[in-house]
């Protein structure tokens, strides 16, 4: 094989890999994104280091759905965030992001959530949540109304979860998508 043929073959492989990477980044940005659970806030449903797949094209989230959210609600998400969150990009540039968290939807826009006696009520009805790890404790009695364009999320391990109780209602622009698979 001549040097010219070797160079041509290498360039063809480089082009193919570049195209595959671009397709992967676009799919990750707009359709499906892998996510690895970090921490214990979603036990017993999801364990630390579980892998999930997130479906992104969604504008409404139902009660009980598990979602991935960007907890930095004090800033607007930029279009570039979708690309920077790609696992390959994060590994290459060593920029793992702990701002993305996994939580369960417990409130939608307009819902009135009440915390009374360490129990959660939505629109006056006590929530029956068979997925939570244990009864909540140490929550002050309070009432929260979920604003338009937001959801309210909590971890299944309520006593060890940094969620909407601490960071506030999550703007829909900060919801990456819902979990459709986990292992």
| Domain limits, the chain | 31-182
Give the domain 31-182 fold: Umud Fragment, subunit A (2.10.109)
Percent of the chain with pLDDT strictly greater than 90: 66
Higher local confidence (pLDDT), 183 or 46: 46
CA distances from 87 to 31, 78, 176 (A): 14, 17, 14
Helix (H, G, I), strand (E, B) or coil at 54: strand
pLDDT the model gives residue 143: 97
| Sign of the four-CA dihedral 37, 40, 44, 48 | positive
Mean pLDDT of 108-133: 95
CA distances from 1 to 5, 7, 9, 12, 15 (A): 6, 10, 10, 16, 20
* 138, 118 Cβ separation under 8 angstroms: yes
* 50, 163 Cβ separation under 8 angstroms: no
Distance CA 175, CA 17 (A): 30
Mean pLDDT of 86-92: 69
pLDDT in tens, 130-141: 999 998 888 889
| Helices (runs of H) and strands (runs of E) counted in the chain | 4, 11
User: Whose CA is closest to 85, among 104, 106, 65, 100?
Assistant: 100
pLDDT in tens, 43-69: 999 999 999 999 998 888 999 999 999
Neighbouring C-alpha atoms within 13 Å toward the C-beta of 116? 11
What per-residue string of b and e applies to 99-115 under the rule 16 or more CB within 10 Å gives b? ebbbbbbbbbeebebbb
Mean pLDDT of 56-84: 89
């Amino acid at each position: 094989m001549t040097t010219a043929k070797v160079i041509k073959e290498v360039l063809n492989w480089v082009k193919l890999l570049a195209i595959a990477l671009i397709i992967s980044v676009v799919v990750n940005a707009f359709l499906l994104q892998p996510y690895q659970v970090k921490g214990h806030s979603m036990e017993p449903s999801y364990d630390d280091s579980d892998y999930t797949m997130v479906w992104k094209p969604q504008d409404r989230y139902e009660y009980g759905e598990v979602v991935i959210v960007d907890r930095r609600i004090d800033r607007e998400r930029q279009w570039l965030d979708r690309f920077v969150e790609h696992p390959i990009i994060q590994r290459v540039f060593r920029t793992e992001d702990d701002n993305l968290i996994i939580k369960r939807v417990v409130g939608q826009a307009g819902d009135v959530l009440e915390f009374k006696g360490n129990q959660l009520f939505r629109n006056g009805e006590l929530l029956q949540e068979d997925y939570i790890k244990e009864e909540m404790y140490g929550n002050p009695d309070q009432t929260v109304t979920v604003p338009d364009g937001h959801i309210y999320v909590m971890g299944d391990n309520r006593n060890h979860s940094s969620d909407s109780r601490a960071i506030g209602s999550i703007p829909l622009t900060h919801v990456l998508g819902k979990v459709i698979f986990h292992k």
